Structure 1
Amino acid sequence: MSSCNIALTMVIVFLLLLLGIGIFFTRISTSFREYVLGNQELHTPPLVGTLLALIYGGGRLMIGVEQIHNFGLSWVFFILATSVFPYWLISWLSLRMRPFMHNLSMSESIGRVYGKYPRMVTGLANIGLAIFTISIQINVMSRSISMCIDSVDRRIITICAILILVFYARIGGLRIITFTDVAQIFVFFIIIPFLAFSIFEATGKPKMLSLLRTKEMFAFDKLWQCEPKQLAVFALFLSSLVVNINPPVIQKIYMSADCLQAGMVFFFTSIFSLFISVFIILIGLYSLIAAPHLLATEVWIYIMAHIAPIFKGFVVISLLTMAISTADTYLNSCCVMFSNDIVSSMMTKKPVSYNRQLRLAKVTALFVGVITIIVSFSCSDLFSLFKFRFDCFIPIVTAPFILAILGFRGSSPTALIGMATGLLTILSWNKWIEPATTINGSCMAMIANGIAMMAAHYLLPKQKK
C-alpha cells in the first residue's frame, strides 16, 4: 500500500472515530444554559483538556514552525512567552469574576456593566473573530491533507471535517465538544513528541546548539535591538497576551463551578501549554537546521517529504485534531452570541424563549460554517489571517471587559466611545503605519480604547438620575 493510501486510510478512520465519540457522548440539550455551559458539572481535568484543545489549533502548530524560519530566536521566545503569560493573566482575572459567574457569555457580562448596545457590538466582534479563527483552521486542514494525499481533492475531506464540527455545534453544544476535545488533545499529546523525534532522526541527529550559533537570527545581541523584525514580534506578543481574553476562552470560566476552579484550570493549562510549545519549537529548529534556505510556506512540505509514511498520516491526524477542536468551540461561541446576545438584545419587548434560542444557534452554526469556507478558500495566508483575528476583536472588546472585571462601571456611551476609538485606531494604523513598519497595532488600539473610556467617564458630564 502506498504512503498516500496509508495516510488517507488513517485520516478516514480518525474522522469516523471522532464522529463515533461525539455520537456516543451526545445528550440533547434541554435548555440553552446546558447547550452553552454543560450545567457546570465538569471537573478540572476535562476543562484543562478542552481549553488546551481550544488554544492549540492547527494554525498555532503550523504558523509556529513556519515563522521560526522567518524570525529565528525572537519567535522561539514568542512561542515560550505566549504559552504561559496569557493564561496566568486570565487566571488572575478569573479570581475577580465572581459577579459574572452566572452569565452565559462574555457579551452578557459586558452588557451587564455597559448596556445592550456594547453587548451587541461584542457579539458582532466575536463573530468576526470566530470567522477568521475558523478560516485558519480550515486552511490548516486543507494544506495538511494536500501535503500527503494527492489522490483525493483536499476540499472534499476538509468539508467532511467541517460538517463534523457543525454536527457537534448543532446537536450537543459544549458538552459533546468537551468530550471530543479531551480525546483530541490526548491524540495530540501522543503524536507531537513522536513527530519531533521523527524529524530529529530524519535530520541526522544534528548538533543543534553549535549549528544555531552560526546563524545571525539566533544571536542573542540581535534579540534586544530595536529592529523592525524584533519590534514586529514584540507587538505580536503584546497582542497575543490579551487575544485569549475572548468569548470561547472566557466561556471556560463560566463552565467552571466557581472562580477558584477557573483559576486552577488556567494555571494548569499554562504548564501543559509550555510542554507542547517546547516540542513545537524543536520541530521548527530541526527543520531549520536541515533546510535553512526554505521559504516559510515550504517548511511543512519539506517535513512531510522527509518523514516515514506512517508519520504522514499521524501528522495529518494531529493537524486535523487541533484544527477541529479549535474550530468547533469558536463556532459554538459564535452561535451562542448571535442568538443570546445580538437577537435577544434587539427583542427586548418579547424575550426569546430557550427553544427558539437553541434553534437559532443551530441555524447560525450552519450559516457561519458556509461563510468560513468561503473566507478560507479566498485567503490562504495563515499569517495574515493570524493578524486579522487580532484586529477584529482586541481593539474593540478587550479593554472594556478588563476594566469591567477590575471594577470599572461606566455607562453605555462610555463603552461605545471606547469601542469606536479602538476601531478607528486600528483602521488608521493598518492604513498608514503597519504597511511601513509591519508592526501590528491591535494592542495600541486596545490602549487607545481604554484611555478613551476613562476620559469619557471622568470628563463628560454625568447624566442626572
Structure 2
Amino acid sequence: MPLYNMPLFMVLAFLFVTLTIGLCISQKTNTFRAYAVGTQQFHTTTLIATVLATSFGGGFLMRTLPNFYDHGICHIFFTVGMHTAGSYIISLLPLHMGPFMQHLSIAETIGNVYGQYLRMITALLTTSCCIGIVAIQINVMSCAIGMCMDRTNPSILTVLATLTLISYAVFGGIRAITITDLFQLATFTIVIPLLLKLVFVKTDQSFLVMIKVLQKAEKIQCKNLFKFDKNYWIELFTILDSIFCVSPSIIQRFYMSSGAIQAKKVFSRVMLFNFIILIGIAVIALFVFIGNPTLQKEEIWSYILADMSPFYKGYVAISILAMTMSTADSHLQTASILISHDMVESMRNLQAPPYMHKLQLAKLATLVTGLLAMIITVYYPNLFGLSAFVFEWLTGYFVVTVIPLFILTVFGFRGTKRTALMGMGTSILVILIWNHWVKPKTAIDGTIIAVAANGLATMAAHYLLPQPPSTGWAEPDPQQKRMMALIRAFKKHRKNIDLE
C-alpha cells in the first residue's frame, strides 16, 4: 500500500470499528428510557469518559491551540481558569438534582416547575442549539480530513463519518453512544502526548534554551495578566462566557447517573481531567511558539503537520474525527429526546395515555436532525462563518435563556411562568441590543451580561410583583439534607486529620 494512502486506510478502519461497536451495542436497546438515559447503571468511569468525550469537540483542539499560540499567557490563563471554574459550578449542581434525577431532559425539569409552555420553549431552543453544534462538528470533520490527507476528497469521508455516527445513534441510543465514546476518548487522549513529542522534537532545542526563549517573548510575559487595556477586557469577557456555555448534552449526562452522589463524583473528577487536557494543549502551543514564533494563526496546523509521517497524520485525523463524532452523536441523541419526549408531551393533553411510538419517533428524529445538520454545512461551508452563526444565534440564545433558568430551578427557586418568561425575554432583548450596538464598537461579547440580566430580571419580577404563596426558594428535600450533612462531616473529618 502506498504510504500516502495510509491516512485514508486508518480513517476507514476507525469508522468501521466505531460502527461495529455501536451496532453491536444497539441490540440491547428496546425501551425509550433505555434509549434516552440508559438503565442508570453506568459505571462512574464510563460516565466520566462520556462527559469528557462530549466536552472536547473536534473544533476545540483545532481552535484552542492556535488561540493559545496567538494570544499567549493571558488567553491560556483565562481559558484554563474559566473552564475550571465552569466545571466547578457544574459539579455543584448534582447535589441539588435529587428531585429531578428521574427526568429525561432539561426541558422536562423546567417543565416540571413552570409548565408545558416553558417546556416546549426550552425544547425548541435546546434542539436548535444541538443541531448547530452537530453542524459545526461535521464541518470540522471536513477540515481535519482535508488538512491531514492532501490527496483525499474530504467531502466523501465527511459524509461517510456523519452517516456512521447517525447509524449507531439511531439504532443504539445512549448506550451505543456511551460505549463508542469510550473508544473515541481513548483515541483522542493518545494524540495529546503524541503531539507533545512530535512538536518538542521539531523545536530541536534544550529545555534551558526553551526557557530563555519564553522569557524574552512579550506575549508570554506574566505582566500581561495585569495589563488592563482594551484587548485585556475583550479577552476576559470572551472567556467569561465559557463559565455558562454548558452544552445540552453535558446537562443530559446528569440524568444518566444512578443518583445525585454519582453525578457529583463524575463532574468533580471531570473538572480535574479538563484541567489536565487544557494544560497539555497549552504546552503544545508553547512548543510550537518556541519552534517558530513568527507563524500566523492560520499557519500553525500546517507547521505541526509538516514533515509528519503518513501514519502520524492519519492518527491526528482519526483523533479529530473521534472528538467530533463523540460530540456530534451526543447532541443528536439529546435533540431526539427533546423532539420525541418533550415536544410531543408538550402538545398532548396531560390526561392522555402514554404515547406508544416514542422510541420509533426518537430514532426518526435522530436521523432527521443529523441530515438537517449536514444541510446546514452546505449553506455555511466556511467553519468560521458557521461557528459565528451557531454561537450567536443558536447556542447564544440557549445559553442566555435556558441555562440561568435551569440553574435557578436546580438550586431551589420556584417561580411562575410569568417570572420565567420575563427573565428569558429580558436576556434576549439584552443580547440583541448588545450584538447590534455595543459589540461592533467594543468587540466585547455580551453573553455573560445577558445571562446576568436573565437572573436579575427573574428575581426582580418575583420580588416586585404579586406571587402565589407556593413560589420562592424551596426547602432542600430530605435527600439533599442528608448529602449536605455527609459532605460537612467529611470536610470536618478531613480538617481534623490535617490538624493532627
Amino acid at match of 1:223: L
Is residue 246 of structure 2 the alignment partner of residue 241 of structure 1? Answer: no
Indicate conservation of the 8 Å contact 1:422/1:446, yes or no: yes
Mind listing any 5+ residue stretches in structure 2 that lack a counterpart? 471-500
Amino acid at match of 1:413: R
2: distance between equivalents of 1:219 and 1:144? 32
Change (3 A) 1:370 1:227: farther
Show CA shifts across 1:2-55 (max 9, x none). Answer: 543111111111111111111222234222111111010101000001111000
Show CA shifts across 1:88-131 (max 9, x none). Answer: 21111111111111110011111111112221121112122212
Indicate conservation of the 8 Å contact 1:247/1:333, yes or no: yes
Change (3 A) 1:70 1:172: same
1:171 corresponds to: 171
Question: What is the aligned counterpart of 1:426 among 431, 453, 458?
Answer: 431
2: distance between equivalents of 1:385 and 1:216? 33
Between structure 1 and structure 2, the one with the greater Rg is: 2
Amino acid at match of 1:425: V
1: distance between equivalents of 2:400 and 2:3? 46
Indicate conservation of the 8 Å contact 1:425/1:445, yes or no: yes
2:388 corresponds to: 384
2:259 corresponds to: 258
The offset of 1:323, in angstroms, is 0.5
Change (3 A) 1:305 1:104: same
The offset of 1:321, in angstroms, is 0.4
2: distance between equivalents of 1:390 and 1:438? 19
2: distance between equivalents of 1:463 and 1:194? 60
Instruction: Give me the CA root mean square deviation.
Output: 2.0
Indicate conservation of the 8 Å contact 2:244/2:403, yes or no: yes
Indicate conservation of the 8 Å contact 1:387/1:440, yes or no: no
Indicate conservation of the 8 Å contact 2:339/2:362, yes or no: yes
Show CA shifts across 1:377-427 (max 9, x none). Answer: 414117636743651321111111111111111011111111111111111
TM-score (norm: length of structure 2):
0.88
Identity across aligned pairs (percent)? 38
Is residue 353 of structure 2 the alignment partner of residue 348 of structure 1? Answer: no
SS of structure 2 residue aligned to 1:372? helix
Mind listing any 5+ residue stretches in structure 1 that lack a counterpart? none
Amino acid at match of 2:458: M
Indicate conservation of the 8 Å contact 1:417/1:452, yes or no: yes
Amino acid at match of 1:123: A
2: distance between equivalents of 1:217 and 1:384? 26
2: distance between equivalents of 1:310 and 1:302? 17
Amino acid at match of 1:66: P
Change (3 A) 1:367 1:450: same
Change (3 A) 1:200 1:351: farther
Equivalent pairs counted in the alignment come to: 464
2:137 corresponds to: 137
Larger displacement relative to structure 2 (125-134 or 12-21): 125-134
2: distance between equivalents of 1:10 and 1:261? 37
Is residue 133 of structure 2 the alignment partner of residue 128 of structure 1? Answer: no
SS of structure 1 residue aligned to 2:357? helix
Amino acid at match of 1:16: F
2:95 corresponds to: 95
Is residue 274 of structure 2 the alignment partner of residue 273 of structure 1? Answer: yes
1: distance between equivalents of 2:110 and 2:308? 49
1: distance between equivalents of 2:157 and 2:333? 21
1:407 corresponds to: 412
Larger displacement relative to structure 2 (106-115 or 23-32): 23-32
Larger displacement relative to structure 2 (366-375 or 434-443): 366-375
Show CA shifts across 1:361-384 (max 9, x none). Answer: 222222222222233341411763
Question: What is the aligned counterpart of 1:417 among 399, 422, 444?
Answer: 422
2:376 corresponds to: 375
Indicate conservation of the 8 Å contact 1:91/1:266, yes or no: yes
2: distance between equivalents of 1:400 and 1:297? 38
Change (3 A) 1:30 1:214: same
SS of structure 1 residue aligned to 2:282? helix
The offset of 1:209, in angstroms, is 2.8
Larger displacement relative to structure 2 (113-122 or 206-215): 206-215
The offset of 1:336, in angstroms, is 0.6
Amino acid at match of 2:37: L
Larger displacement relative to structure 2 (389-398 or 116-125): 389-398
Change (3 A) 1:48 1:111: same
Indicate conservation of the 8 Å contact 1:69/1:295, yes or no: no
Amino acid at match of 1:447: A
